[in-house]
Amino acid sequence: MGAIEEGARRSGVLWLSLDRPRLAWHTWHDGAIYVVTGGGEQELPGLAEAGRVQVTLRSKDNGARLITFTAAVEVVDQVLAGEAVAALAKDRLNAADGAGLRDRWLAHSTVVRLTPLEPAP
């Protein structure tokens, strides 16, 4: 397991370099990081339109920076990416509408896949 996968699996949050550094919860699934934005979920302005984004993973133990890397950004079809969306929904803590969460996301949110390109120096 590489440093990116290990860091993404061990911590449920990461930092994205957008209009300003943004903290986001996520899920690691099938070689990529998945996040949901909008529709009453975390607001990550500009992410869906970005071609690439800088991602920083932190240690769950002490909060220190583990690794920073560039990731390709891709908006996913939530129906076609059903397994990834199911994993993301499972990791969503404190959802008020757990049973209707995926339907709400389908109607009002965007799910984004962040595929690591290479670690930054």
Token pair 């339109």 is at which residue? 49
How do residues 50-73 score in pLDDT, each as one tens digit?
999 999 998 777 767 788 999 999
Contact 63, 14 (CB under 8 A): no
The model scores a pTM over 0.75: yes
Average per-residue pLDDT for the chain: 87
Distance of CA 58 to the CA centre of its chain: 14
What structural domains does the chain harbor?
3-119 (2.30.110.10)
H/E stretch holding 71? strand 65-75
